[in-house]
Chain A
Amino acid sequence: MTGYIFRRMLYAIPVLLGVNLLTFVLFFVVNTPDDMARMQLGAKRVTPEAIQKWKVERGYDKPLLWNDTQTGIVQATQTVFFEKSARLFVFDFGRADDQRDIATEMRTRMGPSLALAIPVFIVGMAVNITLALFVAFFRATRIDFWTVVACVAMMSISGLFYIIGGQYLISKLWSLVPISGYIDTLDAWRFLILPVCIGVISGVGSGTRWYRSIFLEEMSKDYVRTARAKGISEVAVMFRHVLGNALIPILTGAVVVIPLLFMGSLVSESFFGIPGLGSYTIDAIQSQDFAVVRAMVFIGSLLYVMGLLLTDLSYTWVDPRVRLE
C-alpha cells in the first residue's frame, strides 16, 4: 500500500512538470516579458527604461532558459524559468504586484475559503443524496417525473442568477442577513449562511439528477431483485442494500473534488465579499497579476493530482473487491 502511494506520487511529478512548462510557455514565451510590461504600463507612451525597471522589479530581466553571462550551475539557475517556474515546486511563489508575499496571502485566505466550501460540499451532498433517494423510491411515478423536470429546469439557470436573486430577496428585500462581507470570528456564520444556502440550491438540480441515475442503476441489479423476492420491504431494500452499495460510486466520485475545496469558489466569494482564495484569483485576473495566476494554476493542479490519488485510495477503502498492487 505504501509502495503504491509512493509510486503514485512519483507519477504526479511529470504532470506537475507539464503544468509548469505549459504556464511557462504561456506566460513567458508566447508573450515576452517586454510585451507584458508594455501592456501593464500602458501601450502608448512607454520608454525602454520604464520597461526595464518593470522587469527588474519582478525579476523578469534574466534570460528565459539559459544564462550565458554566468558560469557553472548558475547558468541554469539565474533564469526566469528557474526563478519563476521551478521555484513553485518548493511553494516559493514570490511576490504579487502589490509586493505582498503570495504564500502568506494564500495561507490567510484559505480559512474563509474553506469556511464556505466545506459546508456547501457536505450539506449539498446530503441534500442531493436524500432527494435522489426519495425520487428513486418513487421511481416511474408522477413525483419522480416532476422532480426530474424541476431538476432540469434548475440546471438551466445560470449560477449568477441564484446569487443575484438570493442577495436581492434575502438580504435586500427581507434584510435577514448582510448582503456581503466577512469577519474572522465565530460571528462569520451570519455572512456565510446565505452563500452556503445558495451554493447548495444551485447544485441541487444537477446533483439530484446524477445521484438518481446512480441509484436507479443500482436498483436494476440482480441482488436487489433477490432481496425483494425474499420479501424484504421496499424501504429496507432501499436503505439496507441500495444505499450502501450506491455510496461506493458516489463517494469515489466526490473524493476528487475534496482537495479542490481549498481553492474556494470564484464567483460566490467575489459576489459575497468573502476574502478567500477564489476572490483572490478573480482580483488577480482582473488586475492582470501574472505571478498570482501562475501560483494558483500550480496549486490547483497539485490539488487535482492529490484528488486523483485519493480517489484511487478510496476505492480500496470502500470497496473490498478492489486491491491496489
Chain B
Amino acid sequence: MWVILWTDGLVWLLCVALLLYVGYCLVDAHRRTPWRRVFSQRSAVIAAVVLLAFALIGLLDSLHYRAQLSTTSAEQRYSGEVRSALDWLLPHLRERNEKTYSAPLATHSFMRETIDLADGGVRRVFVRLRYGGAHLADPSQVWTDVVQRAGAGLIAAILGWCVVGLYVRTWYARMPQIKLRTAWCTIGVLSALCVPVLFLSTHYHVFGTDKVGQDVLYLALKSVRTSLAIGTLATLVMLPLGVVLGMMAGYFRGWVDDVIQYLYTTLNSIPGVLLIAATVLMMQVYIDTHPSLFPTAAQRADLRLLFLCMILGLTNWTGLARLLRGETLKLSTLDYIQAAHAFGVSHPRILLRHLLPNVMHLVIISLVMDFSGLVLAEAVLSYVGVGVDPSTTSFGTMINAARLEMAREPMVWWPLATVFIAMFVLVLSANLFADAVRDGFDPRLRHAPSD
C-alpha cells in the first residue's frame, strides 16, 4: 500500500515544478542563456552531478509504502512500519543489524563479550558478528575478500561508465558549450567510489554500525532525504512570502512599504534559533495534546519535519524580501514601467509581466544560496533539541548520538566520520553550485566571469 507522507508529496511537487521550469528554459532561448553560462563552468557541472546523485537517493527515499503482511487471507493487512523505495532496494542494509558497535568492515565485535565455556568457566572474547563478514569461514581472509568484492564493484562501475559515455557522445555535438566531458568524468569518479561500497555492503558493514547495531551507511543514506527536504521545502514558504511582500513593498511604497518593513524588522529582530525554538516548542505541545491526529509514528515525525521546514521558511523570507524590495524600488522608477503606467496597465500585470521577470535572477540566486545554510542549520537545531523528531534519521541526530561516544576508549569514530564526509560533500557541492549560479545570473558579473 502506498503511503504519501506530507513531505513526500511536496518534494515530488517541487520536482515536477523543477522539471516544468527546465522544460520552459529549454524552449526559451532567453531563459537558457544564464543556465548555459552556469554550466560552462567546470565546478558547476561537477557540483550539479554530485547534487543529482544526492537527489536521486533522496527521491528514492521519498516513495513510501506499508508492506503487506498476509497475502493469503481475504482481508488485507498492512504492517504499521512505513518503508521507502530505498529500503526495498537495499534490504540488506536495513535488516542486518548487529548487537551494538562494530568497526567498519569488521568481522568481530568491537567490544569483548562474555561467553560461557563448555567446562563452566567464562571468557571475554571478541565474538564473530552476526552479519558482517559472516560468510567467511576464515576471518583472516577478510582483506582478500574485501579487495575481490571491491574489485568486482570497480569493474562493474567502469562498464557502466562506458555505457554512459556512449550516451554522452550523442549529446556532445548538440550542446558544445556545456562541459559534458567533466560531467562524464564526475560520474566515473562517483561510481568508482560508490559501486564498490555497494558491492561490499551486501556482506560487510562498510561504515560500521552504531550503538544499537544499525548500519551507519544506511543511516547516512536516510539522512540525505531529511537534509534535502529541509533544504528545499523551506523555500515553499519563503518563496511566496518573500517575492510577494518584497515586491509589493518596493512597488507600492507608502503605507504598504511601512507595514511590510515593520513586519520583517520585527521577525528579524528575534534571534533565529530562539524564534525557531519557541515555535517548535509550541508545536510539540500541540502534537502532544492532539495524539489522535497522527495515526503512525512516521506520520507524526513527518509532520514535525514539515513544520520545521515551514518555520525555517518563515524565519528566512525576510532576507529575500529586503533584496527584492530594493531591486523593485530601483526598477519601478525606470521609463518602461512609467510607459506601462501611461498605457493603463494594471498594477498586478505590471508586477507580474514587467517586474517579476527582471528580479527573477535574484530569486534564483538566493534560493540556491540558502540551501547549504539550511542543511547546516538542521544539524545545529537537532543538537539544540528543536530540530527533527528524534525518530527521524538526520545528520543532526546522528552527530548527536555519536558525539557522546568520543570519550569511549578505544574511540568510536566511524559514525562521525561518515556524517562528516556525507555532509561535507553535500554542502560543498551546494556551495560550489550556488557560486556558479550567482556568477551565471548576476548581470554585474557578466563581463568578468573569472571572479
A193 within 8 A of B: no
Contact B288 A158, beta carbon cutoff 8 Å: no
Select A156's contact among B265, B291, B411, B424, beta carbons within 8 Å. Answer: B424
A174 within 8 A of B: no
Q: Mark A233-269, 1 if CB is under 8 A from B, else 0.
A: 0000000000000000000000000001001001100
Contact A293 B278, beta carbon cutoff 8 Å: yes
Contact B406 A285, beta carbon cutoff 8 Å: no
A39 within 8 A of B: yes
* A265-299 with Cβ < 8 A to chain B: 266-267, 281-282, 285-286, 288, 290, 293-294, 296-297
Q: How far is the CB of B406 from chain A (nearest CB, A)?
A: 6
Select A282's contact among B384, B423, B430, beta carbons within 8 Å. Answer: B384
Q: How far is the CB of A54 from chain B (nearest CB, A)?
A: 13
Q: Which residues in A have their C-beta under 8 angstroms from that of B269?
A: 15-16, 19, 300-301, 304-305
* A3-20 with Cβ < 8 A to chain B: 14-16, 18-19
- Known A-B contacts A19-B270, A39-B288, A304-B269; the reply to A266 vs B282 at CB < 8 A is no
Cα distance, A305 to B278, chains bound together (Å): 20
Q: Which residues in A have their C-beta under 8 angstroms from that of B278?
A: 23, 26-27, 293-294, 297
Q: Which residues in B have their C-beta under 8 angstroms from that of A152?
A: 428, 431-432, 435
Select A260's contact among B271, B372, B385, B427, beta carbons within 8 Å. Answer: B271
Q: Which residues in A have their C-beta under 8 angstroms from that of B265?
A: 15, 308
Contact B271 A285, beta carbon cutoff 8 Å: no
Contact A159 B271, beta carbon cutoff 8 Å: no
Contact B285 A31, beta carbon cutoff 8 Å: yes
Q: Which residues in A have their C-beta under 8 angstroms from that of B271?
A: 260, 263, 296-297, 300-301, 304
Contact A39 B289, beta carbon cutoff 8 Å: yes
Cα distance, A267 to B376, chains bound together (Å): 13
**Majority-rule SS of A interface residues:** helix
* A172-197 with Cβ < 8 A to chain B: 172
Contact B262 A36, beta carbon cutoff 8 Å: no
Cα distance, A23 to B282, chains bound together (Å): 10
Q: Which of B266, B274, B279: most chain A CB closer than 10 A?
A: B274
Q: Which residues in B have their C-beta under 8 angstroms from that of A38?
A: 288-289
A322 within 8 A of B: no
- Chain A interface size, as a band, is 35 or more
Cα distance, A285 to B384, chains bound together (Å): 8
* A107-157 with Cβ < 8 A to chain B: 140, 152-153, 155-157
Q: Which residue of chain B lies nearest to A21 when distances are taken between CB atoms in the complex?
A: B266
B403 within 8 A of A: yes
B380 within 8 A of A: yes
A167 within 8 A of B: yes
* B344-375 with Cβ < 8 A to chain A: 372
Q: Which residues in B have their C-beta under 8 angstroms from that of A266?
A: 273, 380, 384
Cα distance, A19 to B267, chains bound together (Å): 7
* B402-450 with Cβ < 8 A to chain A: 403, 406-407, 411, 416, 420, 423-424, 427-428, 430-432, 435, 450
Q: Which residue of chain A lies nearest to B429 when distances are taken between CB atoms in the complex?
A: A156
Contact A172 B266, beta carbon cutoff 8 Å: no
Q: Which residue of chain A lies nearest to B403 when distances are taken between CB atoms in the complex?
A: A164
Q: Which residues in B have their C-beta under 8 angstroms from that of A159?
A: 376, 380
Cα distance, A197 to B406, chains bound together (Å): 20
Q: Which residues in B have their C-beta under 8 angstroms from that of A305?
A: 269
Select A15's contact among B266, B386, B403, beta carbons within 8 Å. Answer: B266
Contact B385 A286, beta carbon cutoff 8 Å: yes
Cα distance, A167 to B432, chains bound together (Å): 29
A90 within 8 A of B: no
Contact A156 B282, beta carbon cutoff 8 Å: no
Q: Which residue of chain A lies nearest to B376 when distances are taken between CB atoms in the complex?
A: A158
Chain A interfacial positions (CB closer than 8 Å to B): 14-16, 18-19, 22-23, 26-27, 30-31, 35-36, 38-39, 43, 140, 152-153, 155-161, 164, 167-168, 172, 216, 260, 263, 266-267, 281-282, 285-286, 288, 290, 293-294, 296-297, 300-301, 304-305, 308
List 6 tightest A-B contacts by C-beta distance, closest first: A18-B266, A301-B269, A156-B428, A300-B271, A156-B427, A304-B269
| 25 sampled A-B residue pairs with Cβ under 8 A | A18-B262, A19-B269, A27-B278, A30-B282, A38-B289, A39-B284, A39-B289, A155-B427, A156-B428, A156-B430, A157-B420, A158-B423, A159-B380, A160-B403, A172-B406, A281-B273, A282-B384, A285-B385, A286-B384, A286-B385, A288-B284, A296-B271, A297-B278, A301-B266, A301-B269
